[in-house]
Amino acid sequence: MAKSEQLTDEQWAILEPLIAEPIRRDDGRGRPWRENREVLDGILWILRTGARWQDLPDRFPPYQTCHRRFQMWVKDGTLKSVLENLAEDLRTRGELDLSECFIDGTFVSAKKGASRWERPSGAKVRRSWQ
C-alpha cells in the first residue's frame, strides 16, 4: 500500500485514543475484529476517492467490515472526532488552507408534501437565465 494512503504513525497516535476498542463477546465466539487502524485507512480511502464501498481495494479489510464500522462510528460521534482531529493536525502542519474551501450550493427543486423524489416538470422549474 502506498505510504500516502495510510495514516502516519504520528496521526494514529493522535487518533487511537479517540476510537474505543470493540466490545467482545463473553463466550469468545464470532470472528475476531479487524484492527481499528486498518479499518479507518479503508474508510478514509472511500471518503478520499468517492468510490463505492464495493470498490474498496483488497489491501483493506472487507468493505462490509469498513462500512459497518463507518456506520457505527458516525452514529456514536467517533468519526466526527477523528475527522476534526485529522483536520487540526493538517492545519498545524500548514497543509490545510481554509481559504481554498467552498460550499456547494446546488439548487434542487422539491415538491411540497412529496414522499419521494420526482423529476420536476420543465414548465414549473425556475430557470436561472432568461
What residue segments make up the domains of the chain, in order of their start? 35-93
Query: Has this prediction a pTM greater than 0.95?
Result: no
pLDDT at 80 over 70: yes
Our measurement of the distance from residue 120's CA atom to the centroid of its chain's CA atoms, rounded to an integer in Å, reads 31
Return d(Cα 51, Cα 67) in angstroms, integer. 12
> In which band, very low, low, confident or very high, does the pLDDT at 90 lie, cut at 50, 70 and 90?
confident
Are 59 and 42 in contact by the 8 Å Cβ rule? The answer is no
Return d(Cα 24, Cα 22) in angstroms, integer. 6
Least confident of 62-71, 75-84, 111-120: 111-120
Mean pLDDT of 106-117: 59
Return d(Cα 106, Cα 122) in angstroms, integer. 18
pLDDT at 45 over 90: yes
pLDDT at position 11:
87
